[in-house]
Amino acid sequence: MASSFFALFDDISVLMDDVASMSKVATKKTAGILADDLAVNADKASGFVSKRELPVLWKIAKGSLLNKAIILPITFLLSAFLPVAIIVILVIGGIYLAFEGAEKIWEYLFKKKENKQEVKHVKLTPEEVLEQEKEKIKSAILVDFILSVEIVIIALGTVLEEPLEVQIAVTTVVALLATVGVYGIVALLVRMDDAGLRLIAAADGKETLGSKIGQGMVFVLPWIVKGLAILGTLAMILVAGGIFVHNIHFFEEINPGMPSMLWEFLVGLVVGLIAFLLFSLVMKLLGKKH
């Protein structure tokens, strides 16, 4: 009986080691989407009065956890009974990521800047402010749902050859780490300028080390958010290219000898541009703007 008991602990220990090592690999694979998720949520959680930023972020984070509670069981059922669907969803998701990344690059390089019009500041009632807040939270949760699907599918895609219990453990760990990590960092970012302003105010107009640090924090925050957006865009294309190269053998076979990372980025960019151009053509034929 004792030997069986210790054997069980040994099996659990081995399983936990496998889960830990595979979770690291899966987290690296999802890094691109996490960077984009971070940039998107930093933008969605900003623009509120200071005292509302963290409550809004907490509501979005709870919505993110609910998203993953819906996505994870469905994904595991597909993995158990229809595993080919995982690859199909993965490739479709890759096209979406490539499209999003290519669209951002296209707009940055070629889209003409619209003439800036004067913005009339209209005083909103408390009810209107709350309604705007609700709409922004809904939008953030919807974006999170799309990104969460990709995070879960990519994480699962790294362990498809493993037993189901390992798939469940690794994918769940990555999904939870994504939520805690992304929204924890976003919480620090949205409060960074407030912390800087407090340091400046505490100096009482004097040039102290604290005031200089505070000024630096206020100055650097917009650049951090912009940098995350750029890195997220490039990473989305790279992740998408990796999905295509590793799941569609055609792309792997026609590699002209480029380094794998460069080839994956190029494939992701080309597929993304094609998807973007086709989408633009369809929208133009329908007479709609996007």
At 184-209, the pLDDT tens digits run 887 777 777 778 878 888 877 777 88
For 287: left if phi > 0, alpha if psi spans -120 to 50, otherwise beta; the answer is left
Model pLDDT, residue 290: 58
Mean per-residue pLDDT for 129-144? 78
Mean pLDDT over the full length of the chain:
76
Of 56-70, 160-174, 266-280, the range with the highest mean pLDDT is 266-280
What amino acid occupies position 215?
Q
Query: In this structure, is residue 157 part of a structural domain?
Result: no
Answer yes or no: is 159 within a domain.
no
For residue 29, the model assigns a pLDDT of: 60
Query: Is residue 238 in a domain?
Result: yes
Statement: residue 19 has pLDDT above 60:
no
Using alpha carbons, list the distances in angstroms from residue 131 to 56, 125, 128.
12, 10, 5
Please tell me the predicted confidence (pLDDT) of residue 275.
Answer: 93
Of residues 230, 238, 228, the one with CA closest to residue 94: 238
71: CB partners within 8 A, 6+ apart: 145, 148, 149, 152, 175
Flag whether 249 is in a domain.
yes
Written in H, E and C, the secondary structure of 163-232 is: CHHHHHHHHHHHHHHHHHHHHHHHHHHHHHHHHHHHHHHHCCCCCCHHHHHHHHHHHHHHHHHHHHHHHH
Whole-number percent of the chain with pLDDT over 90: 7
With contact defined as beta carbons under 8 Å apart, do 212 and 71 qualify?
Answer: no
Evaluate if residue 118 carries a pLDDT over 60: no
Q: Is the pLDDT of residue 57 over 70?
A: yes
Asked if residue 126 is part of any domain, the answer here is: no
* Residue 66 included in any domain: yes
Burial class, 228, CB count within 10 angstroms (exposed 0-12 / middle 13-18 / buried 19+) = buried
Structure tokens at 239: 């992740």
Average of per-residue pLDDT across 145-166:
79
Mean pLDDT, range 21-47, rounded to an integer: 60
Question: What's the mean pLDDT in 100-115?
Answer: 75
Instruction: Give dist(CA 75, CA 149) in Å, integer.
Output: 9
Name the pLDDT band for 110 (thresholds 50, 70, 90).
confident
Higher per-residue confidence, 123 vs 137: 137
Q: Domain limits at 64? A: 2-112+168-285
pLDDT of 194-251, one tens digit each?
788 788 888 777 778 878 888 888 888 778 777 777 777 887 788 788 888 888 888 8
Asked if residue 95 is part of any domain, the answer here is yes
Residue 149 falls inside a structural domain: no
Report, as an integer, the average pLDDT of 49-76.
83
pTM of the predicted model as reported, rounded to 2 decimal places: 0.67
Q: Which has the closest alpha carbon to 37: 284, 277, 241, 229?
A: 229
Indicate the residue type of 13.
S
Average pLDDT over residues 17-31: 56
Number of domains in the chain: 1
What pLDDT sits at residue 44?
A: 61
